């Protein structure tokens, strides 16, 4: 049995910890924040789950499957309906009542016609500009889901499983560097590990590796966004699930229209604007203006709100990093930026599980 230290409790870290424990190791997760789950979680404000921007779960993707397997109670989900998504200055993404346009969309899908506006909108909302035919098809067949419990419900299921297999978790612990088997924390304390899995994001992994005297990771461009999540006591969106402005790279969802069982009254707006050439602050202001024009009077109806200026969604291109480049130092990497067959949260979870399979099982 080896001592495995996982740095970070996002989906990559949770996947790595679960797999390491299943393989018979003694596992500790160190998380720098008070909250677990990284970017894929939400916080309860007066019983209303407020997250880090819109998150859609791929039906029967790795995360959905794992959550179904881990708990007797299936995660409660609701599909985002493509027929209820509007494209600004265009109309419905999937025109259900227009046979001619429906045939055009089917043809565009078959021919992978990326000039077709519905295909562009589907790609944007399904994977935020990353390439994924699976998620595009899933969106158009109503197989991208929102959770009725917020993403903390999914994280909670994994946490319960980790507890059952005896994974030890410490919050408020920031890892600074690794010296041989010794892992040094920001508070000056240290801990011993045979294997370390860095599941703390690309930037932080790089910082820790640099501090440890190891070579930098290659630079990988990422897609970032500003987000606003807000619970309102009003209904500014008339019956739509979402609205997309392709030119502005803005998506606005009404999570409670999609998932009527989500706790709270009124609407739950989750909005995102991709950052191009402006600062996070400017981009956030532009997102607020988009909300002003799409959800008239929203600022007078706020119950709770979370704004994020600049958060990284995922890696921009096809290039990703191999999980085992520091294998000779017994350090492994995990995150959606690691070579992997999936994208977004599925990639994060799967990369963690795969990293844990790169060192031997306990005898």
Ligand X SMILES: Cc1cc2nc3c(=O)[nH]c(=O)nc-3n(C[C@H](O)[C@H](O)[C@H](O)COP(=O)(O)OP(=O)(O)OC[C@H]3O[C@@H](n4cnc5c(N)ncnc54)[C@H](O)[C@@H]3O)c2cc1C
**String marking each residue 250-289 x if it binds ligand X according to CB under 6 A:** ----------------------x-----------------
**Whole-number minimum distance, CB 211 to ligand X, in Å?**
10
Q: Which is nearer to ligand X, 13 or 79 (CB)?
A: 13
Give the count of beta carbons closer than 10 Å to the beta carbon of residue 111: 10
Helix-then-strand count for the chain, H and E: 10, 20
List the one residue out of 236, 260, 307 whose CA is nearest residue 50: 307
DSSP 209: H
> Residue 97: which H helix or E strand, with range?
none
Q: Does 335 bind ligand X (CB under 6 A)?
A: yes
Which of residues 344, 350, 356, 359 is near ligand X by CB under 6 A? 344
Q: How far apart are CA 107 and CA 61, in angstroms?
A: 26
**String marking each residue 157-186 x if it binds ligand X according to CB under 6 A:** -----------------xx-----------
Q: Does 8 bind ligand X (CB under 6 A)?
A: yes
Q: Does 53 bind ligand X (CB under 6 A)?
A: yes
Which of residues 313, 321, 323, 333 is near ligand X by CB under 6 A? 313
Q: Does 241 bind ligand X (CB under 6 A)?
A: no
Q: How far apart are CA 42 and CA 210, in angstroms?
A: 31
**SS3 call for 162:** helix
**Greatest Cα-to-Cα distance within the chain, rounded to the nearest angstrom:** 67
**String marking each residue 18-47 x if it binds ligand X according to CB under 6 A:** ------------xxxx----xxx-------
Cβ proximity of 37 and 147 under 8 Å: no
Cβ proximity of 332 and 324 under 8 Å: yes
Q: How far apart are CA 328 and CA 320, in angstroms?
A: 20
**String marking each residue 199-238 x if it binds ligand X according to CB under 6 A:** xxx--x--------------------x-x-----------
List contacts with ligand X (CB under 6 A).
7-13, 30-33, 38-40, 52-56, 174-175, 199-201, 204, 225, 227, 272, 311, 313-314, 335-336, 344-346, 348
């Amino acid at each position: 049995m080896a001592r495995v230290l996982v740095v970070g409790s996002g989906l990559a870290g949770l996947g790595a910890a679960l797999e390491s424990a299943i393989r018979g190791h003694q596992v500790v997760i160190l998380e720098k924040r008070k909250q677990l789950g990284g970017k894929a979680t939400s916080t309860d404000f007066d019983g209303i789950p407020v997250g880090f921007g819109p998150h859609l779960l791929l039906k029967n993707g790795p995360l959905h499957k794992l959550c179904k397997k881990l708990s007797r109670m299936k995660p409660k989900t609701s599909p985002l309906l493509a027929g209820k998504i509007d494209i600004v200055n265009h109309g419905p993404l999937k025109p259900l009542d227009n046979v001619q346009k429906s045939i055009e969309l089917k043809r565009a899908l078959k021919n992978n016609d990326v000039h077709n506006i519905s295909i562009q909108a589907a790609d944007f909302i399904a994977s935020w500009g990353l390439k994924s035919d699976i998620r595009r098809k899933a969106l158009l067949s109503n197989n991208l889901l929102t959770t009725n419990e917020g993403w903390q419900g999914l994280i909670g299921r994994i946490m319960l499983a980790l507890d059952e297999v005896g994974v030890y978790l410490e919050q408020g612990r920031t890892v600074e560097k690794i010296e041989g088997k010794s892992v040094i924390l920001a508070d000056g304390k240290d801990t011993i590990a045979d294997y370390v899995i860095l599941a703390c994001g690309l930037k932080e992994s790089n910082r820790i590796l640099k501090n440890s005297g190891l070579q930098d990771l290659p630079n990988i461009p990422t897609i970032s966004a500003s987000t606003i999540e807000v619970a309102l006591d009003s209904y500014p969106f008339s019956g739509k699930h979402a609205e997309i402005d392709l030119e502005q790279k803005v998506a606005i969802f009404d999570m409670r229209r999609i998932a009527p069982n989500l706790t709270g009254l009124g609407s739950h707006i989750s909005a995102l604007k991709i950052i191009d050439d402006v600062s996070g602050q400017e981009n956030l202001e532009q997102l607020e203006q988009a909300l002003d024009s799409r959800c008239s009077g929203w600022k007078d109806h706020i119950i709770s709100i979370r704004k994020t200026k600049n958060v990284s969604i995922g890696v921009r291109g096809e290039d990703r990093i191999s999980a085992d480049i520091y294998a000779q130092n017994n350090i492994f990497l995990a995150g959606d930026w690691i070579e992997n067959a999936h994208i977004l949260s599925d990639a994060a979870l799967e990369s963690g599980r795969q990293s844990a399979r790169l060192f031997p099982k306990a005898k």
